[in-house]
Amino acid sequence: MKPIEKELTGKHLIGGKYCGAGGRFRGIDPAAGTELPTAFCEAGGAEVNCALELADEAFEILQTVPVKKIAGLLERIAAGLEAGSAAIIERAQLETALPAERLRSELARTAGQARAFAELALDGSWAQARIDHAIPGRKPLPKPDIRTIFMGAGPVVVFGASNFPLAISVAGTDTVAAFAARCPVVAKGHPAHPGTCELVARVIAEAIVWAKLPPGMFSLLQSSGYEAGLALVKHPLTAAVAFTGSLKGGRALFDAAAARPAPIPLYAEMGSVNPVFILPGAAAARAEGIAEGFVRSLNTGVGQFCTNPGMVLAVAGPAYERFLTAVCKNASCIPPAAMLHAGIQKAYDCGTERLSSIPGVKLAGTALGGASRGAGPKMAVCKIFTADAALLRRRPELSEEVFGPATVIYRCKNTAQMLEIARNMPGSLTATIHGTESELREQGGLVRALQRKAGRIVFNGFPTGLEPCASLHHGGPYPATTHSFFTSVGTAAIYRYVRPVCFQGFPDAALPEELRETNPRRVRRLVDNSLK
Amino acid sequence: MKPIEKELTGKHLIGGKYCGAGGRFRGIDPAAGTELPTAFCEAGGAEVNCALELADEAFEILQTVPVKKIAGLLERIAAGLEAGSAAIIERAQLETALPAERLRSELARTAGQARAFAELALDGSWAQARIDHAIPGRKPLPKPDIRTIFMGAGPVVVFGASNFPLAISVAGTDTVAAFAARCPVVAKGHPAHPGTCELVARVIAEAIVWAKLPPGMFSLLQSSGYEAGLALVKHPLTAAVAFTGSLKGGRALFDAAAARPAPIPLYAEMGSVNPVFILPGAAAARAEGIAEGFVRSLNTGVGQFCTNPGMVLAVAGPAYERFLTAVCKNASCIPPAAMLHAGIQKAYDCGTERLSSIPGVKLAGTALGGASRGAGPKMAVCKIFTADAALLRRRPELSEEVFGPATVIYRCKNTAQMLEIARNMPGSLTATIHGTESELREQGGLVRALQRKAGRIVFNGFPTGLEPCASLHHGGPYPATTHSFFTSVGTAAIYRYVRPVCFQGFPDAALPEELRETNPRRVRRLVDNSLK
C-alpha cells in the first residue's frame, strides 16, 4: 500500500473533493512559537451545508451496504494510517510539540481502534438484536411479532481534541465508531493541528474510494473560529455530535444542540479533576512508590490528558509528609515542556496563578529552574500545591480542572473527611483509590460515593493511560461529560451514534439480516427474553 | 393481602409520611364537569427539597440491598395494585372518564410491568457486565483488569401521563424501571388524577415498608401548576427525569434540565403524528378491512394514545375512494366521548378547528350527530379530514399532532410522492405500512426513510396497543422524544436510569457481585470480547 501524498493543500475535503480557496490561518509550532507553512481555508455556511447534504445522501446508501465493506473500510483506514505514518507524525510533531515516540504509539492506538471497530461491525452482536415472537392465540389479545435492533442515527459531526491529534481527532474513536454504525461523518478539523487533520482525512477519503463506498460519507472542514462549528451543530441534517475539549467549548455546543428546534444529542467529553484518594495504610506502606507513579501520571503528555490527576486527598501525618516530600522531589526532576498550543499554555498559567492566589493554597514544589528557563516561548512547569481539605468546601473553584501538569494535595483530618469530600465533589471521568485490600473493605462508603461521581474507579493505579477495550468506560457525570451513559473511548462508543428501530409484524425477508429467523449473521440475540 | 385504605388524605406522601396542609385543588369528573371530593395540597420548594434529600440518602442504601429485596418490592407493588384495584379503578374512573374495563386491563398491565422488572432485576443480565482481564506481561504496556457494569444513576423524578393514569403514572414503567435500577423515585402527581395518584402511592409506600426498604426511596408530590415540576427538574440532587405528556410541557422541562448548572437527561415522550402509509396493492385488496381497523385504532381511548394515527397517506384512485368511504362510514358509528380533562378537550377543539381552517383541508366524515349532542359537558367527536398530499410541504403545521380522535387522509399522486413525504416528515413514535409483501420489497426506500423517522414500524397492523416486552421500543426522533436512544415502555426502559461504572484493578471481593470472577449471580457477561 502506497503512503498518502504528504503535500498539504490547506483546503477542505468534502465528499472526496478538495475545495475552498484563500487560506486564512496557519498551524503554529508551539515549541518555537512560529507559523508553519500552508495556509488553511475557513469553512462557512456553504461548506457546512454541502458536507451535510452529501452525508445525508450517503447515510441512506450506507444502510444497504454489506457489512464486509464497512469492515473493509475500517481496516483500510488502519492500514492507510500506518502506511502514511511518516508524513502524519512529522506534521503532527510540528503542530503539537508532542514527542515522535508518543505520536507513534498514538498512531498505533488509532489504527488499533479502527481495527477493533471493524471486528465489532463484522461480529454484529453489538447491535443487541431483540426478538419477541408472536403469540397469535394469546388472550385477551394476540401478541404481535416484535423485533428491535440498534441502527445508525444519521450524519454525525465530530470535533476532535487537541491533546490526542490522532486517537481523538479526524480518524479517532468517534469517526470509526460512527462508520461502524453506518453513519457518515463530518469532521471539524482542530485549528491546532490542521495539517495533521488534512493528512488523516486524505487517508480516510482514499480508503472510501478503495472500498467503493459513497464519498459523501466523510468530509473534513477546516476552521479556526467558532462559527463553522456552531453551524455544524445547528444544521437540521446533523443527527448527533461528538466533542472532546474544554468545558467552555463543550458547554457552548451542548447549549446550541439543546436549543435547536429539534434538539440532538451532543456528547461532549470535557475532562475533569480526577481525584486521587490515598488511604492511610497505603500511604504508610508505600508513600514513595505512589508519589513516583503519581508524578509520572501527572506529567504524561505535559499534563494534557483528560484523566490527569488534578487533586489528591491524603490524611495528615508522617506518611502524608513522606508522600509530599517524594512528590516534590519527583516533580523537581520534570523538565518544563511546550504545551499543545498558546491557548492551552495561557489557560494553564492563569489556572495555576488562580490557585496560588487562593489564601491557604501553597506552592509546595515545582520543576527546578523551570520558570527561569529562558530559551523559546513559555513552557509548562509542573506545579505541586498543597491546601487543607476544609478549604475545598469554602472555595468550590478548587474543584475546577486546571488543564496541565498541576495538582493540589489536600491534607484531610481523617478518612471521614475524605468521604465527605467525595460525596460533595462534582463529576469526574475517573477517581483513584490507593489503599490496602482491608482498607478498601472498610471504606465501602467511599467506593459507593465515588460510583456516583466518576465513570471509572481505579484501585492502586493511576488514571492516565486508557485501555480502549470493550470494558472501558470513558465518561462520567457532568462536567466530565454531557451524558454519563455514553463513552468516548472503547468499542462501546458505538452507542453514541445509534438508536433502536423496532419492526412489528414484518415479513422475514424485509427485516434487517440480524433480525431474520435463521440469523444468517449468527449474532447474539435476546429471543423471547433469553440470550441466544 | 389486604387492600389499601381507600380514604383520600389529599396530602403528599413523602418518604412514607403523609404531609402538607390546606388542600388547594380538586380532581374533576371530566364526564360531568364537576369537582370531586377531597382537596389536594400544592407542593412547594420545601416538599421538593425534603423528597429529594430523602431520595438521595435512600439511593446509597439501595446500592447495598440484596437484589431479592428489590424484586420482592416490585412483586409486592404488583400484588398491592391488584388487591387495591377496586378502590383504584373506582377513583380513576371518576377522574379520567375512562371505562372500567379499560382501567382494569391497564391495571393488569401495570402490575405485569412491575413483575417484568422484578424478573429483570433478579436475572441481572440487563446490566451488561463487561470484563477485560489483565494481561500483566503485555508489551509495550501491561493491560490492566477492567470491568464495567450499569448501575443506578441517582434519584429519578417521574412525571406521569394523563392518558395512562396507571401504566404511565405513579407506579408506571418509569417508577418500576427506576426501582429495578436501585434508584429512588420522586413522582409528581398528575393534577388530572390526583386521587388515583394518592392511592397508587399508598400501594408503593406500603410495599416499601413490607420489604423493609428505605421509605425515602419513594415520594409523591401533588401539584396542579408548573412550579413544583420545574423545581423538581432543577433540584441539584435529581439525576434524571421522565416525562410523558405534551410537546409544550416536555420541551419546557427539557429546556430547564439542559439549562441547569449541571445538565441532566430529561427523557420526554411527547407523542407524535404516527403516519400510516397505505400502498396501492393493499388498498385494492382490502380497503374496507384497513378502514375498519384504522378507525378502531384512531378511537382507542378516545384517540388519547401517544401512538394514535393522525395522518394517512394513500394513492388517489378507486381504492383510495373505497378506503375513504369506509373510514367515514365507520367513523359515523363512533359515539362522542368525554376526554381526560377539559384542557385536552380544549386543545382537541382548537386543533381540529385549526385543521378545518387550512385551505385545502376538508372535513370528510364525523360521528353522526356528534356535535349536536346536548347533554353534559363537551365531548370529543371523531373527525376525518382529507387533503391533497402536496399541501403537507406548504403547510408544515399539518405534521403537528392533534391529540384526540382526528386524522387527515392525504391523497398522494403515487408512491414516489409518499416516499418524498416520508423523507421530509418530523420524527414519530411509530410509522405504519399497509402493503402486500411484494410491495414492501419494492418500497425498500420507504422502509429505510421510515427507519430514520420512527421508533417502531408496523406492517399490516395498527400503531396503538403497545406490547410492553423486551423487544418493544417506544421512542423515536424529536418531537416524539427528547432522546431517541431510550424507550419509555418495555423492559429496556431501565437504561434511562443507569450509567456505566468502570472498575479498574479492583480486588474481586470489592467488586459488585455481577463482576466477580466466579459470577455468583450467573449473569450474562461480555468477557474478553465474548459473550458468556
Q: How far is B441 from chain A (nearest CA, A)?
A: 7
What single DSSP character describes residue A219? Answer: E
Candidate list A306, A328, A382, A412, residue with the active-site label: A306
Any idea which residue has 456528547 for its cell?
A267
CA dihedral B435, B438, B444, B447 (to 10 degrees): 20
pLDDT tens-digit map of B24-46: 999 999 999 999 999 999 999 99
Segment holding B69, helix H or strand E: helix B67-83
CA dihedral A42, A48, A52, A53 (to 10 degrees): -120
**CA–CA gap between residue B75 and residue B58 (Å, rounded):** 20
* Contact assignment for A467 to B132 by CB distance below 8 Å: yes
For B424-434, letters b (16+ CB in 10 Å) and e give ebbbbbbbbbb
Any idea which residue has 492516565 for its cell?
A464
pLDDT at B375: 44
Interface of A with B in 86-105 (CB under 8 A): 105
3-state DSSP call for residue A244? strand
A438 contact B CB<8A = no
For B529, the closest of A143, A470, A475 (CB atoms) is A470
**CA–CA gap between residue B490 and residue B471 (Å, rounded):** 7
How many residues does the structure list for chain A? 532
**CA–CA gap between residue B453 and residue B426 (Å, rounded):** 7
Mean per-residue pLDDT over chain A, rounded: 96
Nearest chain B alpha carbon to A150: B485
Q: Is A269 a catalytic residue?
A: yes
Q: Could you tell me how many helices (H) and strands (E) chain B has, helices first? A: 15, 21
Domain boundaries defined on chain A: 12-24+36-122+153-270+485-497, 275-459
A202 contact B CB<8A = no
CA atoms within 13 A on the CB side of B12: 27
Residues of A in Cβ contact (< 8 Å) with B448: 60, 63-64
CA dihedral B50, B52, B54, B60 (to 10 degrees): -160
pLDDT tens-digit map of A439-476: 999 999 999 999 999 999 999 999 999 999 999 999 99
pLDDT at A369: 57
pLDDT tens-digit map of A209-218: 999 999 999 9
Asked if B208 and B215 touch (Cβ cutoff 8 Å), the reply is yes
Residues of B in Cβ contact (< 8 Å) with A526: 470-471
Nearest chain A alpha carbon to B132: A471
Instruction: Tell me the H-state helices in B300-379.
Output: 318-332, 342-357
Instruction: Tell me the H-state helices in A279-357.
Output: 280-298, 318-332, 342-357
pLDDT at B92: 98
Residues of B in Cβ contact (< 8 Å) with A495: 485
Superfamily of domain B275-459: Aldehyde Dehydrogenase; Chain A, domain 2 (3.40.309.10)
Q: Has residue A168 got a pLDDT over 70?
A: yes
Three-state SS letters, A387-428: EECCHHHHCHHHHCCCCCCEEEEEEECCHHHHHHHHHHCCCE
**CA–CA gap between residue A509 and residue B235 (Å, rounded):** 49
3-state DSSP call for residue A373? coil
Residues of B in Cβ contact (< 8 Å) with A506: 440, 457, 459
Query: What are the Cα distances from residue B33, in Å, to A41, B10, B71, B72?
Result: 66, 20, 41, 41
Candidate list A75, A106, A269, A401, residue with the active-site label: A269
B210 contact A CB<8A = no
pLDDT at A375: 43
Residues of B in Cβ contact (< 8 Å) with A480: none
What does the block give as the cell for A273? Answer: 479533576
* Contact assignment for B459 to A504 by CB distance below 8 Å: yes
Give the residue among A43, A49, A45 at the shortest CA–CA distance from A18. Answer: A43
**CA–CA gap between residue A215 and residue A230 (Å, rounded):** 24
Q: Name the phi and psi angles at A438, rounded to 5.
A: -70, -35
Is the CA virtual torsion A190, A194, A199, A201 positive or negative?
Answer: positive
pLDDT at B367: 82
Residue A182 CB neighbour total at 10 angstroms: 23
* Contact assignment for B485 to A265 by CB distance below 8 Å: yes
Q: What is the mean pLDDT of residues A20-49?
A: 95
A122 contact B CB<8A = no
A462 contact B CB<8A = no
pLDDT at A373: 47
Q: Has residue A157 got a pLDDT over 80?
A: yes
> What do you get for the CA distance between the two ends of chain A, in Å?
40
3-state DSSP call for residue B383? strand
Q: How far is A445 from chain B (nearest CA, A)?
A: 9
CA dihedral B525, B528, B529, B531 (to 10 degrees): -30
pLDDT at B271: 83
For B456, the closest of A444, A445, A502 (CB atoms) is A502
What does the block give as the cell for A426? Answer: 462534582
**CA–CA gap between residue A468 and residue A299 (Å, rounded):** 21
CB pairs under 8 A between A and B: 216
pLDDT at A500: 98
Longest Cα pair distance anywhere in chain A, in angstroms? 85
Q: What angle do CA B206, B207, B212 make, to 5 degrees?
A: 100
pLDDT tens-digit map of B374-430: 445 679 999 999 999 999 999 999 999 999 999 999 999 999 999 999 999 999 999
Residues of B in Cβ contact (< 8 Å) with A447: 510
Q: Has residue B98 got a pLDDT over 80?
A: yes
B501 contact A CB<8A = yes
Nearest chain B alpha carbon to A254: B258
Q: What is the mean pLDDT of residues A153-177?
A: 97
pLDDT at B374: 46
pLDDT at A517: 97
For A262, the closest of B151, B452, B478 (CB atoms) is B478
CA atoms within 13 A on the CB side of A219: 30
3-state DSSP call for residue B312? strand
Asked if B491 and B126 touch (Cβ cutoff 8 Å), the reply is yes
Asked if A408 and A310 touch (Cβ cutoff 8 Å), the reply is yes
Residues of B in Cβ contact (< 8 Å) with A440: 506-507, 510
pLDDT tens-digit map of A226-244: 999 999 999 999 999 999 9
Give the residue among B84, B118, B87 at the shortest CA–CA distance from B203. Answer: B84
pLDDT tens-digit map of A281-336: 999 999 999 999 999 999 999 999 999 999 999 999 999 999 999 999 999 999 99
What was the ipTM of the complex prediction? 0.97
A372 contact B CB<8A = no
Asked if A430 and A454 touch (Cβ cutoff 8 Å), the reply is yes
Fold topology of A12-24+36-122+153-270+485-497: Aldehyde Dehydrogenase; Chain A, domain 1 (3.40.605)
DSSP per position, A29-62:
ETTTTEEEEEEE----HHHHHHHHHHHHHHHHHH
> Is-same-fold flag (A12-24+36-122+153-270+485-497; A275-459)?
no
**CA–CA gap between residue B389 and residue B434 (Å, rounded):** 18
What share of chain B in percent tops pLDDT 70?
98
pLDDT at B369: 58
pLDDT tens-digit map of A345-384: 999 999 999 999 999 999 999 987 555 444 456 799 999 9
pLDDT tens-digit map of B220-271: 999 999 999 999 999 999 999 999 999 999 999 999 999 999 999 999 999 8
* Contact assignment for B499 to A479 by CB distance below 8 Å: no
**CA–CA gap between residue B203 and residue B171 (Å, rounded):** 9
pLDDT at B377: 62
Residue B459 pairs in a beta bridge with: B433
B142 contact A CB<8A = no
Residues of B in Cβ contact (< 8 Å) with A499: 455, 475, 477, 484-485
For A162-177, letters b (16+ CB in 10 Å) and e give bbbbbbbbbbbbbbbb
3-state DSSP call for residue B101? helix
For B15-28+48-270+485-497, CATH gives 3.40.605.10
Any idea which residue has 387522509 for its cell?
B409
pLDDT at A367: 82
CA A161 to chain centre: 7
Quickly state the pLDDT bin for A532 (edges 50, 70, 90).
Answer: confident
What does the block give as the cell for B284? Answer: 385494492
Among A146-150, A268-272, B89-93, which stretch is predicted with the lowest mean pLDDT? A268-272
